[in-house]
Amino acid sequence: MDRYIDIQILPNPEIATPLVMNQLFYQLHLKLVDSGVPVGVSFPCYCFDSENHRNTTLGPILRLHGTEQDLSQLELTGTVSSLFGYVLISQITPVPAVVKGYALFARKHAKTERDIERKRQFLLKKAGGNWNEIAQKNLQSFINKLRCQLPFIHLVSHSSKYDDEKNHFHLFISREESRELKGTLTKYGLSDPVAKASVPIF
């Protein structure tokens, strides 16, 4: 990953930056699925504030990492043509010789209502079939731990078996400092959870 492209979302009073990022990331995901090129993503302005969630954001810049050949195959002018006027795309640029370090950007899976119901059934069985205060307390503790406050992309899944209202989901993204790891990238450009791949930070 010796080259990168920055896609900056331009300030616009008529549309919020996260809405543009959702569409931008969705178009990129489709292109990565179609082309199969190993391109990584990072968010230079990423911020997670556990004290004040209003400050938590992916920021207005999506950075793409890869080789010059792989980045060229994305054909971004065509891929994000619907967003012209909303984004500014840089040229393919060499990564600086000296970087601040490396980071893992990975998907964080949030639990669903189905997970909560499974936990409830487990606690009910553990309580001998009689729901009690201890079971309720344990269930509430479980639910509290499920609340993911990480920055996210709002996407639509075309592989879902449910109706349109349930096709929407949040792709939560975590950022973790790392050493240089040359693992595997997902079709979202994020690090594989097992064969981890880091991207340079600069």
pLDDT of 159 reads 57
21 and 65 within one domain: yes
The answer as to whether 161 is a domain residue is: no
pLDDT of 102 reads 98
Q: Which long-range contacts (CB under 8 A, 24 or more apart) does 133-139 make?
A: none
Summarize the confidence of residues 53-76 as an average pLDDT.
95
| Confidence grade of residue 65 (pLDDT, cut at 50, 70, 90) | very high
* Interval 113-143: pLDDT, tens: 677 788 888 888 888 888 888 888 888 877 7
More confident residue, 136 or 72: 72
pTM over 0.85: no
* Domain count across the chain: 2
Structure token pair of residue 176: 């973790």
180 and 90 within one domain: yes
What is the domain extent for residue 37?
A: 3-109+172-201
Residue with tokens 């492209």: 5
The answer as to whether 165 is a domain residue is: no
21 and 91 within one domain: yes
The CATH number that applies at residue 196 is 3.30.70.2540
58 and 8 within one domain: yes
Residue 163 has pLDDT above 60, yes or no: no
Beta bridge partners of 174: 106
97 and 58 within one domain: yes
196 and 131 within one domain: no
* Interval 33-47: pLDDT, tens: 999 999 999 999 999
What are the b/e assignments for 122-132, b being 16+ CB within 10 Å?
A: ebeeeeeeeee
91 and 30 within one domain: yes
54 and 132 within one domain: no
23 and 119 within one domain: no
Q: How many CB atoms lie within 10 A of CB 168?
A: 12
CA distances from 185 to 18, 53, 104 (A): 23, 28, 10
Residue 156 has pLDDT above 90, yes or no: no
123 and 71 within one domain: no
102 and 134 within one domain: no
